[in-house]
Amino acid sequence: MKTLEMDNVTKIYHDGPKEFKAIDQASFGIEEGEFVAIVGPSGSGKSTLLSIAGALLTPTSGQIRIDDKDLASLSSKKITQLRLDKLGFIFQSANLIPYLKIKDQLGLIGKLGALSKKAAEKRAKDLLEHFGLSERLDHFPNELSGGQRQRVAVARALMNDPSIIFADEPTASLDSKRGLEVVEMLANEIKTRNKSGIMVTHDERVLHLCDRVITIKDGKLV
């Protein structure tokens, strides 16, 4: 089953009378249990494509379906709820909230979603233990290594049991060893939990962990 389908998606930015096609008629889909990498040079449109696929950015034209829901037919409130329920995000530098303890980083996502406080606390604890962070539950982000922070980010992305996980350059702030460990962990979670995963990356050393590699150049999938 396809969890995400994009058909002829275009994103145009205007600068006075000039227009720039950041994404040019992109079409692709992703299945359950599939881990896809998007690669391309800087400025090619990778992050824009990821933001559109993750319902963070509205395309100028084209159709996007997530779990068979056409995003164009949903209100902004329903799209926000869909992001909480169906999508998980991992960013370059973990993007943890500096004043929240590690367990509370995950608890906040559960609270925003449909979990009760008790259920959120249990799921956060179980996920952090699963990722080898049981002794760090009451630590703050600045007390963790870069690799540990990204493991928290992976756990946070799984908190509401999403259908699709989006990762934007998850190895950018890590050395090669730690970067490989994080992507191995991410690939394993996608397979064992039957999720879909889309990762934007410059790191060719992790591409062997993906099922498919999509190249984007000047906004076009090639």
Low-confidence ranges of the chain (pLDDT < 50): none
User: In this structure, how many other beta carbons lie within 10 angstroms of the beta carbon of residue 54?
Assistant: 21
Q: How much is the pTM?
A: 0.91
Helix (H) or strand (E) holding 76: helix 76-86
How far is residue 40's CA from residue 90's CA, in Å, rounded to a whole number?
19
> What's the CATH number for 2-221?
3.40.50.300
Cβ 131 vs Cβ 151: under 8 Å: yes
List, for residues 194-220, the tens digit of each pLDDT value.
999 999 998 899 999 999 999 999 999
Name the residue ranges covered by the structural domains of the chain: 2-221
